[in-house]
Amino acid sequence: DFPVAEFDYFGESWSAWCLVPASKANESMPAAVAEAYGGEGLGCDFGLMCVPDPEKVPLTAAGFEAISRQGDEHRVASFIDRVVKHLGGAVSDGTILATFAERYTLNAKSPTDEPGEEGRALKTFSRLLEELAAEPTWASWNSSASCVADRDSNAPAVGAAIGLACGGLSKNFDCDEIPEECRGSVWDVADYVFGAYWSEHKGTSLQNCYFGGAATLAGTTDRLAESNAKCVVPVEWAKRRRLQGRLSSEGESASKVRSSSYEAMEAPGLPRRAMAADLDEGEEDE
């Protein structure tokens, strides 16, 4: 038994303990009870219940190391698959991914491993991100992916992340401007706010489209299908707003600018080249 996490309970910090099943005569108590009552049992591997899960650990250096040091390339591959999805990609060749994952698995029996500390230094989260940034061919990549709320997260975490995102946006956008049709749920609000934040800041998605796991890039139609289309912000949206802000300063009414600023929302996921066509006139004087 050991603590797997710390959590706050009415202002006090408590430990969440991982409890392993009691055993007697080489048989676990859950299995004995199931047998006594003629049931099938839990059907799970108790040995993995208290081990960090590649589908749940944070996409951080600590999360990566927790999976890599387990020495199981299959679990490392699952973690890498999550990272690829978060970066707006989709694995297209699982066989090559499996080979790739071996290189990032500590203690894996791989002939390509470097010995000692030198080999360990090659198996870092930062090195992994560098390789994925080069967009390897065993996955497909969407450079125009929008940032949306991660439906694998939970509403309280997403709500807290909305506050962080709103506080980090520039004067070009105020969270009071969220369209009425995107105020129906915390997920719709988050899609809009996270998309605006990503469009304005860009960089890497694990920096500006993550928020502790509350946000992700929607690089596939399956991920986009989970969102309200009117609340998904295209990546060129911030640039479009800057041009409209310039028009406003030249005398165009604020109401007209606000109305047109949401026109980009009508076509989420619009290819970057199509969005750029709307901006050609303004790009010349930037």
pLDDT in tens, 218-261: 888 888 888 999 999 987 776 555 444 444 444 443 333 333 33
Domain assignments of the chain as residue spans, ordered by start: 1-39, 53-141, 146-283
Q: How confident is the model at residue 22 (pLDDT cuts 50, 70, 90)?
A: confident
The whole-number pLDDT of residue 36 equals 85
3-state secondary structure (DSSP) of residue 12: strand
Q: Which has more pLDDT, 146 or 202?
A: 146
Q: How confident is the model at residue 60 (pLDDT cuts 50, 70, 90)?
A: very high
Q: Is the pLDDT of residue 95 over 80?
A: yes
Span 86-98, mean pLDDT?
Answer: 94
- Decide: 153 and 213 in contact? Cβ < 8 Å: yes
Query: How many other CB atoms are there within 10 angstroms of residue 217's CB atom?
Result: 26
Report the distance separating Cα 217 and Cα 147, nearest Å.
4
Gyration radius of the chain's alpha carbons: 23
Q: How confident is the model at residue 14 (pLDDT cuts 50, 70, 90)?
A: confident
- Longest pairwise C-alpha distance within the chain: 84
Q: Which has more pLDDT, 112 or 262?
A: 112
Q: Is the pLDDT of residue 167 over 80?
A: yes
Question: Residue 23: CB partners within 8 Å, gap ≥ 6?
Answer: 29
Span 92-115, mean pLDDT?
Answer: 78
Q: Is the pLDDT of residue 117 over 90?
A: no
The whole-number pLDDT of residue 30 equals 79
Tell me the percentage of the chain whose pLDDT exceeds 90: 36
> Would you call 63 exposed, middle or buried from its count of C-beta atoms within 10 A (0-12, 13-18, 19+)?
buried
The whole-number pLDDT of residue 122 equals 61
DSSP 104: T
- Decide: 231 and 182 in contact? Cβ < 8 Å: yes
Is-above-0.75 flag for pTM? no
- H/E run at residue 254: helix 254-261
